[in-house]
Chain A
Amino acid sequence: MKDFGFTMIKQRTIDYDQFDGRLLNEVLEMEPSFKVCLSCGGCTATCSAVDLVSFNVRRMNLLLRRGETVELESEIKKCMLCGKCMLVCPRGINIRNVIMLIKKSIPKYKTVTL
């Protein structure tokens, strides 16, 4: 292959057609309260970890819903499972359980990347 001094650029676009929803569906089935997240960010605002490390609880929802399992796996490790987010959540989501479910199931789907 010739080298022209430049390379192809990988697209940043989320290609929804490539999305593998197995992990998401499993989590939603086990913790249906997670369906109603509004992305308000109350969880992140109150999070004990968020001030110390770059961690965003709200984004767990998005990473899961876009199938970004690789990032998701490293991100959830930063959660200390204190449960403060659940005190704030306006939709009463059991966030701690969501994190635990992801932790438990993610090895099964780890190979799936976007």
Chain B
Amino acid sequence: MRREGKIQVWQDYQKEIADDHYFYVRSCIRQNFFPGAEQTFLKILRSELNKDIYENPHHTSCSGIGYHSDIVPFDTIQTVVARQFALMTEAGYQNLAVSCITSFGIYNEIIETWKEFPAELEKVRNFLKTATGREFEIPQNVSHASDIVYKFRHRITDKAKHKLVNQQTGKPLKIVEHIGCHYSKMFPSKGVGGAEFPHVLVGMIESWGGEVVDYPERRHCCGFGFRQYLVMSNRGYSVSNSKKKFESMAPYKPDAIVSNCPGCPMFLDRWQYVIEEMEGKTYGENGQGIPVLTYEEMAGLVLGYNPWDMGLQMHQTNVEPLLDKMGIQYDPDLKYAGKDGKIIGNPMMVGCGC
């Protein structure tokens, strides 16, 4: 593998990422799957980077899951998106910071639609005005939250308490990066590094001391696929996709997987547990799983945040092997403690490799 070739591709796909003053739009599902991730992002932006990031409690789901499941019509989702933009405009912001990859794809798809078909834009302006009385401006900059962390990755390095380095061996941790399909596969130019060799997570991992695992199935979908997962009997398609990736990455003995999507870390995390239960197979060292993080959680660990405060106990595949390698101190007894320190009970389905 020649790095110069990748650097060339990365240079070909650089995008503009707003510097400050973001209007934050959340993901519907991340707050359930990885409840600390978005909070960690806001904390990093506000307290570490001194950025202005605003969120309006009245913003809603972008309805992308419904759209991709053929439940929400295009007119409806365009109007929902227009309403988000109206909230942004009313709050005096122009830069959209998107937590979710599905939403990021939706916002880009709709903005591009309006560029190609201005009549759609006029129609949607009319829908929104009629339904809510609101008006909106199209954001000047649409960045995924991972773009923003990427942009300021070196400032995070400067403040790092831990590195992505194995404290026992002194070697960089080997990290699999997994990019949500709708980040750049729809519009390669809208992702840092494009669609084939995205740089967004690679940049973070390398700046924080880790080494990226480039394995053959790196492009492959995690298997979420909306319809594949939403119907239980179809979930075999979903888990088979994830399994294909695990089989492909396992020879590299990765220390962790990091992703910038809501669905991907969920499935890469939960399916490891399911595969162990179904087939008795695990992909990490010593019969354990491969810990899966969101990029915010990874940044949080680098910045020395308490893993239990970030909600890492919510991961089904235990993260302790990674914490141990990074030399992060944690209290195992407090893993399932609530905010007030009281134990709230252990989960019934214990993590992969327990």
Q: Check whether chain A touches chain B (CB < 8 angstroms).
A: yes
Stretch of A2-10, A55-63, A80-88 on the interface side: A2-10
Chain B: interface residue total (CB-CB under 8 A): 15
- List the interface of chain B (C-beta within 8 A of A): 232-237, 239-240, 243-244, 274, 277-280
A11 CB contact (under 8 Å) in B240, B274, B279: B240
**Measured between alpha carbons, how far is A4 from B280 in the docked complex, in Å?**
14
Give the CA-CA distance A2 to B279 in the complex, in Å: 9
Q: Is A53 an interface residue (CB 8 A)?
A: no
Within 8 Å by CB of B233, from A1, A2, A6, A8, lies A6
**Tier of interface size on chain A:** under 10
Residues of B near A11 (CB, < 8 A) are: 240, 244
Chain A, residue nearest B349 (CB): A2
Cβ-defined contact, A6 with B232, below 8 A: yes
Q: What's the least CB distance linking B283 to chain A, in Å?
A: 15
Least CB distance from A57 to B in Å reads: 34
Q: Which of A2, A4, A8 contacts B240 (CB 8 A)?
A: A8
The 9 closest A-B pairs by CB, nearest first: A2-B277, A6-B236, A6-B235, A9-B240, A9-B236, A7-B236, A5-B232, A8-B240, A6-B233
**Across-interface contacts of B240 in A (CB, < 8 A):** 8-9, 11
Does the CB pair B280–A1 fall under 8 Å? Answer: yes
The minimal Cβ–Cβ distance linking A5 to chain B, given in whole angstroms, is 5
Q: Name B279's contact: one of A1, A6, A9 (CB within 8 Å).
A: A1
Chain B proximity of A11: nearest CB distance (Å): 7
B274 close to A4 (CB less than 8 A): yes
Q: State whether A4 touches B237 (Cβ < 8 A).
A: no
- Name the residue on A nearest B280 (C-beta): A1
Which residues in B have their C-beta under 8 angstroms from that of A9?
A: 236-237, 240
Q: Are B279 and A4 in contact (CB under 8 A)?
A: no
Report B309 CB to chain A, min CB distance, Å. Answer: 31
Residues of A within 8 A of B280 (CB): 1
Complex: how many Å from CA A102 to CA B301? 62
A4 to B273, CA, bound (A): 12
A-B contact pairs, 8 of them (CB 8 A): A1-B279, A1-B280, A4-B277, A4-B278, A6-B239, A8-B243, A8-B279, A9-B236
Which of A1, A7, A8 has most B Cβ within 10 Å? A8
Contacts of B243 in A (CB 8 A): 8
* A6 in contact with B277 (CB, 8 Å): no
Q: Are A5 and B233 in contact (CB under 8 A)?
A: yes
- Assess whether B277 is in contact with A1, with CB atoms less than 8 Å apart: yes
B244 cross-chain contacts in A, Cβ below 8 A: 11
Q: A2 — which chain B residues lie within 8 A by C-beta?
A: 277-278
Report the bound CA distance from A5 to B234 in whole Å: 9
User: Are A8 and B277 in contact, with the CB atoms below 8 A?
Assistant: no
Residues of B within 8 A of A1 (CB): 277-280
Q: In the complex, are the beta carbons of A8 and B232 less than 8 A apart?
A: no
Which chain B residues lie closer than 8 Å to A8 at the CB level? 236, 239-240, 243, 278-279
CB closest chain-A residue, reference B235: A6
Write out the residue numbers on chain A whose beta carbons fall within 8 Å of the beta carbon of B277.
Answer: 1-2, 4
Among A2, A4, A6, A9, the most chain B Cβ lie within 10 Å of the Cβ of: A6
Interface residues of A in 1-48 (CB under 8 A from B): 1-2, 4-9, 11
Closest Cβ of chain A to B213, distance in Å, is 21
B220: shortest Cβ distance to chain A, in Å? 12
- Complex formed: what's the CA distance from A6 to B239 in Å? 9
Q: Which residues of B are found within 8 Å of A7, using beta-carbon distances?
A: 236, 278
For residue A23, give the distance in angstroms from its CB to the closest CB of chain B. Answer: 28
> Counting chain B CB atoms within 10 Å of each CB, which of A1, A2, A9 scores highest?
A9
Considering the chains assembled together, what is the distance between the CA atoms of A8 and B280 in angstroms? 13
Closest chain B residue to A7, Cβ basis: B236
Give Cα A18 to B240, complex, Å.
19
Give the CA-CA distance A2 to B276 in the complex, in Å: 9
Min CB distance, B276 to chain A, in Å?
A: 9
Residue ID in chain A nearest B274 by CB atoms: A4
Q: A6-B232, A6-B235, A8-B240 are in contact. List 14 more A-B contacts (CB 8 A).
A: A1-B278, A1-B279, A1-B280, A4-B274, A5-B232, A5-B235, A6-B233, A6-B234, A7-B278, A8-B243, A8-B278, A9-B236, A9-B240, A11-B244
